[in-house]
C-alpha cells in the first residue's frame, strides 16, 4: 500500500534533523550480552532505531517480516523503534503459547493498540482488556452455542446462498460479466453477520444492489486503521490525524458513516423491543444487560461486523484463487461434494467434508484472515526461546510468517497442499480424517482465553459457500490476473479479485 506524500515529508524532515547526529555514533545489528542469547533483526542506529530498514520495506511488510524471521534461529526478531523502545516479532509456537496462554495477563492489547484501533473499534471486544473484555466475552459466548450454529446454517447461510448468491453468480455466468469475487463474498458475509448477530437484513447481496456505501466506508476505515500499525512510532499517525493529512483526513468521515449505521441498527432494535425469551440475537443479549449505553453497543456492533464480514470473506477469496491454480485440488473437492446429495448443508454434512475442510485450513495457513496480531508487554519477561522482553515493548506474533516457516511446516511450506491436514482413519479403511491443528503453531483463530468464539461458525459458513459455488459453477480469474497480497486488518487482494463465472455443464 503506497504511503501518502505527507508521510515522506515528515520522514525527510526527521531524517535531515538527525543525519549528522547519527554519523557520530556507531551502529549495531544485534543486542548481545554474556547472559542472554543473541537477538536478530534489522540493523539498528542510535535514536532512530531500525527505521531506515523498516520504512524502506513498508510497501512489503509481510514479506519483509517473513524474511527476517527465517534468518533467526529462534524464529524471533527485535525491531528497535525510535528513541529506544522495542518491537518483538515472533513465529515461534512456544512463544505464541507463552503470550496467548501461559502469561496471558502479562500480554494485554495495551495502550498502543487501543489507541490505534479506538477510532473504529472503540471499546469493542477486539480492542478491550480486563473486565470490559470479560463481560463482552461472557455474553457473546452464549450466542455461539450449538443451537445458534444450527440456526445459522439452516436459516441464514443456506437461505442467503439460494436466495441471493447463486442467482447473482448465475446471472454473471449467463451475461459473461466480470465479478469482483472479493466484494461479492464480503457483502455476502456482511448480510449474514447482520442477520444472525443483530436480527437485521441489510440486503447488500441483492442482485439489484451494485455497491454498498457502508461496506465502502468500513473498508476505508479498516485500511487506514491498519496503516497505523505500520509506523514504528505512534507519533507519526497521530500527527497526521491532528493535521488531517493523507488517509487520516478521510478516516473521520468513514468512521462517522460506520458509527451511524451501527447506531441506526441499535435504535431500530430498541423500537422493536427486547423479548424475554431465550431466542435472542447477539445485540439483544447485550441490550438486555444493565447499564449498557448506546456508545458501548455501537462498539460491539462494529467489532462483530469486522469479525463476521472481513475474516470469512478474506479466507474464501484466497481459497477460490488457490483452487483456480490447483485444479487437482478442486477435482478432489468436487468428488467429495458429489458424495453428498444435499445441496443445502447442515452440521452433519459439513463434518463429512474433510478434504474441503483441509483445503480451507491450508488456505488460511498461507493467507491467514488476520495476518498479524499485536500485544503489549505489561511487565519484564523472558520468552521460552530465551528472548528478553522489556516492559512496555510491543509484542507481535505473525501467523502470515508462521505459515511460511520451513522449521514449522517442512520444505514444502510455501506449497498449497491440503493433504498435510489429513491422515488415514484407522477405524474406517480407505477414509481420511483431519489432523488436529496445534493452535500455537497455527494461531489463525487465536488461542488460549481469546480463542475465537466463532471458529466453528466460520467453518460452517465457508464450507457451505464452497459447496454451493463449486457444485454449480467454475470460478475463472480474468486472463493474466495475479493477486497482490496486502495486509489491512485482514488479508486482502489489492484491487479485488476479478473473475468470470462458468456454469458447470454437468451437475456435481
pLDDT tens for 321-363 read 999 999 999 999 999 999 887 776 777 778 889 999 999 999 9
CA dihedral 476, 481, 487, 490 (to 10 degrees): -10
Architecture of domain 5-503: Orthogonal Bundle (1.10)
Q: Global pTM?
A: 0.89
Lowest mean pLDDT among 1-10, 220-229, 258-267: 1-10
Q: So where are the chain's domains?
A: 5-503
Tell me the sheet residues that pair with 308. Answer: none
Q: Which residue has the higher pLDDT, 143 or 301?
A: 301
Lowest mean pLDDT among 75-79, 235-239, 287-291: 287-291
139: pLDDT confidence band, cut at 50, 70 and 90? confident
134: which 3 cell numbers? Answer: 470479560
Q: Is the pLDDT of residue 187 over 70?
A: yes
Which pLDDT value is given to residue 30?
A: 42
- Residues 242-254: what's their mean pLDDT? 91
Q: Is the pLDDT of residue 408 over 80?
A: yes
Lowest mean pLDDT among 32-41, 73-82, 172-181, 421-430: 32-41
Which pLDDT value is given to residue 83?
A: 85
The percent of the chain in helix, strand and coil, each rounded to the nearest 5, is 55, 10, 35
- Residues 461-473: what's their mean pLDDT? 94
Q: Is the pLDDT of residue 145 over 90?
A: no
Contacts for 462 with CB less than 8 Å, ≥ 6 apart: 312, 315, 316, 319, 360
The answer to whether the beta carbons of residues 240 and 246 sit under 8 Å apart is: yes
Which pLDDT value is given to residue 229?
A: 85
Cα-flanking dihedrals φ and ψ of residue 397, to 5°? -110, 145
Which pLDDT value is given to residue 508?
A: 61
Average pLDDT score, the chain: 87
Lowest mean pLDDT among 8-12, 32-36, 415-419: 32-36
Q: Is the pLDDT of residue 1 over 80?
A: no
Helix intervals (H) in 72-209: 93-97, 110-121, 130-143, 146-151, 158-160, 166-175, 181-198
Amino acid at each position: 500500500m503506497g504511503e501518502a506524500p505527507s508521510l515522506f515529508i515528515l520522514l525527510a524532515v526527521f531524517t535531515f534533523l538527525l543525519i549528522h547526529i547519527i554519523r557520530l555514533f556507531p551502529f549495531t545489528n544485534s543486542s548481545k550480552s554474556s547472559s542472554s542469547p543473541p537477538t536478530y533483526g534489522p540493523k539498528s542506529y542510535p535514536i532512530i532505531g531500525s527505521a531506515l530498514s523498516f520504512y524502506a520495506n513498508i510497501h512489503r511488510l509481510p514479506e519483509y517480516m517473513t524474511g527476517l524471521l527465517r534468518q533467526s534461529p529462534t524464529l524471533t526478531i527485535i525491531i528497535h523503534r525510535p528513541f529506544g523502545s522495542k518491537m518483538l516479532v515472533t513465529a515461534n509456537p512456544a512463544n505464541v503459547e507463552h503470550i496467548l496462554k501461559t502469561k496471558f495477563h502479562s500480554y494485554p492489547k495495551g495502550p498502543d493498540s487501543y489507541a490505534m484501533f479506538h477510532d473504529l473499534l472503540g471499546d469493542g471486544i477486539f480492542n478491550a482488556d480486563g473486565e470490559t473484555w470479560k463481560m463482552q466475552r461472557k455474553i457473546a459466548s452464549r450466542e455461539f452455542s450449538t443451537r445458534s450454529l444450527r440456526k445459522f446454517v439452516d436459516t441464514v447461510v443456506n437461505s442467503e446462498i439460494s436466495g441471493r448468491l447463486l442467482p447473482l453468480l448465475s446471472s454473471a455466468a449467463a451475461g459473461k460479466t466480470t465479478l469482483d469475487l472479493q466484494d461479492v463474498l464480503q457483502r455476502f458475509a456482511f448480510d449474514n453477520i447482520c442477520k444472525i448477530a443483530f436480527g437485521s437484513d441489510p440486503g447488500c447481496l441483492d442482485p439489484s444492489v451494485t455497491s454498498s456505501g457502508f461496506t465502502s466506508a468500513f473498508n476505508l476505515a479498516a485500511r487506514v486503521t491498519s496503516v497505523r500499525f505500520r509506523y514504528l512510532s505512534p507519533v507519526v499517525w497521530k500527527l497526521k490525524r491532528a493535521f488531517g493529512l493523507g488517509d487520516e483526513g478521510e478516516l473521520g468521515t468513514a468512521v462517522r458513516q460506520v458509527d451511524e449505521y451501527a447506531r441506526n441498527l441499535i435504535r431500530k432494535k430498541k423500537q422493536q423491543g427486547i423479548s424475554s425469551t431465550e431466542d435472542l440475537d447477539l445485540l439483544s443479549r447485550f441490550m438486555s444487560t444493565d447499564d449498557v449505553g448506546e456508545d458501548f453497543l455501537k462498539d460491539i456492533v462494529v467489532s462483530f461486523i469486522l469479525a463476521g464480514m472481513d475474516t470469512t470473506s478474506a479466507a474464501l477469496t484466497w481459497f477460490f484463487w488457490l483452487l483456480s491454480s490447483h485444479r487437482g485440488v478442486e477435482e478432489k473437492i468436487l468428488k467429495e461434494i458429489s458424495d453428498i446429495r444435499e445441496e443445502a448443508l447442515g452440521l452433519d454434512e459439513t463434518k463429512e467434508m474433510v478434504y474441503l475442510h483441509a483445503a480451507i485450513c491450508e488456505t488460511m495457513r498461507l493467507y491467514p484472515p488476520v495476518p498479524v496480531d499485536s500485544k503489549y508487554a505489561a511487565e519484564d519477561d523472558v520468552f521460552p526461546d530465551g528472548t528478553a522482553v522489556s516492559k512496555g515493548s510491543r509484542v507481535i506474533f505473525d501467523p502470515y510468517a508462521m505459515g511460511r516457516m520451513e522449521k514449522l511446516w517442512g520444505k514444502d511450506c510455501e506449497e498449497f497442499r491440503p493433504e498435510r491436514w489429513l491422515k488415514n482413519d484407522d477405524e474406517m479403511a480407505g477414509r481420511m480424517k483431519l489432523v488436529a491443528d496445534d493452535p500455537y503453531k497455527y494461531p489463525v483463530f487465536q488461542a488460549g482465553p481469546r480463542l475465537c468464539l466463532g471458529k466453528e461458525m466460520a467453518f460452517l459458513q465457508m464450507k457451505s459457500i464452497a459447496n454451493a459455488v463449486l457444485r454449480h459453477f467454475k470460478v475463472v480469474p480474468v486472463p493474466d490476473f495475479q493477486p497482490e497480497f496486502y495486509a489491512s486488518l485482514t488479508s486482502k487482494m489489492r484491487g479485488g479479485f476479478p473473475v468470470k463465472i462458468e456454469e458447470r455443464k454437468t451437475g456435481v
